[in-house]
Amino acid sequence: MSGALRIRVRGQVQGVGFRPFVWQLAHRLNIRGEVLNDPEGVLIHAQGARIADFVAAITAEAPPLARVDAVETGPFAFDTAPCDFAIAASRGSGAETRVTPDAATCPDCLADIRGDDPRRRGYAFTNCTHCGPRFTILKGLPYDRARTTMAGFEMCPDCAAEYADPGDRRFHAQPVACALCGPHLGFEDANGAHPDAIAAAARALLDGAILAVKGLGGFHLCCDATNAQAIDRLRRRKYRPSKPLALMGRWQEIDRHARPDTEERAALASAAAPIVLLAKGDPLPEALAPGQNHLGWMLPYTPLHHLLLGAVARPLVMTSGNLSGEPQVIGNAEARDKLGGIADAILDHDRDIARRLDDSVMRLTPEGPMILRRARGMVPDTLPLPDGFGDAPQVVAYGGQMKAALCLLKNGQALLGHHLGELDEALTLEAFLQADADYAALFDHRPDVVAVDLHPDFQATRHGEARARDEGLALEPVQHHHAHLAACMAENGHALNGGKVAGIVLDGLGLGPDGTVWGGELLLGDYTGFDRRAWLTPAPLIGGDRAQAEPWRNALMRLDQAGLSNWADQLFADKPLEIARMAASKGLNAPQSSSAGRLFDAVAAVLGICPDGQSYEGEAAMRMEALASETVFAPVPLEHGAAGIDPAPLFHRLRADLARSTSAGDCATLFHLSLAHAFAKEARALVDAGEAERVALSGGCFQNARLLRDTLDALGLDRSRVYLHHRTPANDGGLALGQAVIAAARHLHRR
């Protein structure tokens, strides 16, 4: 192979130093031609005696942030034989390629901000081709400086020389800048602006102040994590009484106050730099995460954060900078307007944020990584569609009402968008609509099919229905729990014709085709359909949405069903029990539900865990997981009858155990085991009968590591036969992926 070739490289190959890598490779191997970006990725025209070695090295030696999906070659004829190898100007518009997520500061750039060069020493926007902002500054493709929020910062001669030097690691790094020509920090408090922003911010934090700090994808609210008074003020001002607060620290702070193992350390240090849930070490104020035995930690992931942590030398709270229920603030003026009543001072800069991205959140379990929130550093990475979906149409799926995220299918890839939040908040809905338009424009996406949840009142459903109607697109309503099952199948590469899977889907709620509220389900299904084989015995949700906020309501109904009304009267004597019972008996705003999430709430209330109300979604369940002991119990058998899997025997056992002064931790353990065994027994029966080859575990309840472990143990299957979520959230943040592949499968099936 020595003739000229046209080489197409597909994948995550823009914004990662791929063109300079190819340039350097070509000069090493004496290859002549050119390399350029275009809407499909990277295009190379090349010839030379070692062309075969050149093609092989494109994949084998790719830059650290690159992901090469395919290298396609074909003959090419140059109009004029090239005498050198050049980086040519980008061509075209639109997008058939992937965009690189934002990446944490690399070791070389970290050394620069601590070094002697005055252009970069202490400079908060130092980056190179191996790190720095990508998706959060991108306005359009191909990925060039003119299409980013760096366009207004003209490079100084030194930066321009680095950008043009193939031997420099900043060669064609689009956000390249230095203190002479790039963005700058600003610090402002009640006394006005301060010239040394980092020093002033550090002094304020050490004095107990709350800061609004502008990061990559938005503002954080920040305070000293060792200062209980500052934490209390932050909680009071933000109206966030008990939801865990994220922390940022250097290794010395993390190693002191947490117990990261090898895999957790690798996750923290990855280019995505997510928040990782870590077991507590030396104590910090309990107010950081009341009732929890883990804290969410992240390393500094920008030079600004490194400089600030270095100046403070303490762990810092870094929680999303937003008003309660609203999206994260991204603009400087917006921060002063909305965060001024919370923050005592603002540390910002003059580089705009093109799109809002919260921090990603994950935890490591013995079964592998678990993504709780997929955002900065992980988006817009894509997942390959399983075998059989090669001819799938372009699909847009809009997810659910909670933890909203949308999904696009195109060219055999699924792009699951970033976490947006709860769509019942007007500004979050606005951000959702902006994200829809943004992703469509950025990735040149023209869907044939729109997928939505069955629930007609979900804002995401209404938007999808309107778009399908207005643009004449096919509409595919998808049942909520079927979407959870399909998302888990798709993430694990289950082929379109791969047969049926037994899906244990446990979550808060989702509308069933029978009009009731589902949430504790065993489904037997594939991408095109499902049968409901087992479910929790339904109970009324007294007050509708209020049942999610006030666990005593769920406990009352479950105890009444179990014939334990007298116990309910004792436990909840201060509650309007007769009114609640009357509403349930008459079906007044009391829909029937099989929700596993509400069963968690019911048990928690019986154990005295926030029975009156939850200050954030899942608080009762999270506290119960943290409380569970390691005592070994035999589970309470929960039989599957005509009405479903009845938890009544569990409540009888809990009453007896509590009367014997059994600890709440042991009772929580018994509940996890009993619920896990009840569903595992039914799923294993489908496998043993040959109706399913594999089991999938999905739904937000499976973010509970204890429930996940107990269910896997109870199944007793080889782990290769159980699908789990590792790259997408088990919660509603992954719902759109399942909707999208179901819609695509139905379309392909009808052909």
Domain boundaries, given as residue ranges, for the chain: 5-87, 185-349, 383-492+729-750, 539-723
Amino acid at the residue 728: T
CB of 429 within 8 A of CB of 460? Answer: no
Q: What is the pTM of this model?
A: 0.94
Tell me yes or no: is domain 5-87 CATH 3.90.180.10: no
pLDDT of residue 522: 98
Q: Among this protein's residues, is 411 annotated catalytic?
A: no
What is the structure's pLDDT at 5? Answer: 95
Spot the catalytic one: 10, 32, 37, 581.
37
Same fold? 185-349, 539-723? no
Q: Is the pLDDT of residue 703 over 60?
A: yes
Question: What pLDDT shows up at residue 93?
Answer: 62
| CATH class of domain segment(s) 185-349 | alpha beta
Mean per-residue pLDDT for 446-475?
97
For residues 647 and 607, the answer to whether their CB atoms sit within 8 Å is no
> Which position among 10, 19, 119, 598 bears the catalytic label?
19
Q: Extract the tokens encoding 535.
A: 């479910």
- Predicted pLDDT of residue 751: 77
What mean pLDDT comes out for the span 318-340? 94
Residues 730-749, mean pLDDT to the nearest whole number? 97
Q: What confidence score (pLDDT) does residue 441 get? A: 86
Q: Which of 262-271, 324-333, 401-410 has the lowest mean pLDDT?
A: 324-333
* Model pLDDT, residue 639: 92
Condensed to tens digits (0 to 9), the pLDDT of residues 562-581 reads: 999 999 999 999 999 999 99
Cβ-based burial of 247 (10 A; exposed 0-12, middle 13-18, buried ≥19): buried
Can you tell me the mean pLDDT for 653-680? Answer: 97
At 443, is the pLDDT very low, low, confident or very high (cuts 50, 70, 90)?
Answer: confident
* Angstrom distances, CA of residue 50 to CA of 44, 72, 425: 15, 17, 59
Structure confidence at residue 37 (pLDDT): 87
Q: In the prediction, which pLDDT does 51 show?
A: 95
Q: Are 33 and 45 in contact (CB under 8 A)?
A: yes
Determine what percent of the chain is predicted with pLDDT higher than 70: 99
End-to-end CA distance of the chain: 41
What is the mean pLDDT of the segment spanning 525-537?
A: 98
Class of domain 383-492+729-750: alpha beta
With a cut of 90, say whether residue 219 has pLDDT above it: yes
Q: Is the pLDDT of residue 1 over 50?
A: no
The reply to whether 19 belongs to the active site is yes
Residue 157, pLDDT above cutoff 60: yes
Bridge-based pairing of strands 395-397 and 449-453 is parallel
pLDDT in the model for residue 332: 97
Express each pLDDT in 73-122 by its tens digit. Answer: 999 999 999 999 998 888 876 555 567 899 999 999 999 999 999 999 99
Indicate the DSSP class of residue 361: E
Give percent of the chain above pLDDT 90. Answer: 88
Nearest to 445 by CA among 416, 418, 409: 409
Q: For 602-632, what is each residue's pLDDT tens digit? A: 999 999 999 999 999 999 999 999 999 999 8
pLDDT in tens, 495-514: 999 999 999 999 999 999 99
Query: What average pLDDT does the structure give for the chain?
Result: 95
| Class level of CATH domain 539-723 | alpha beta
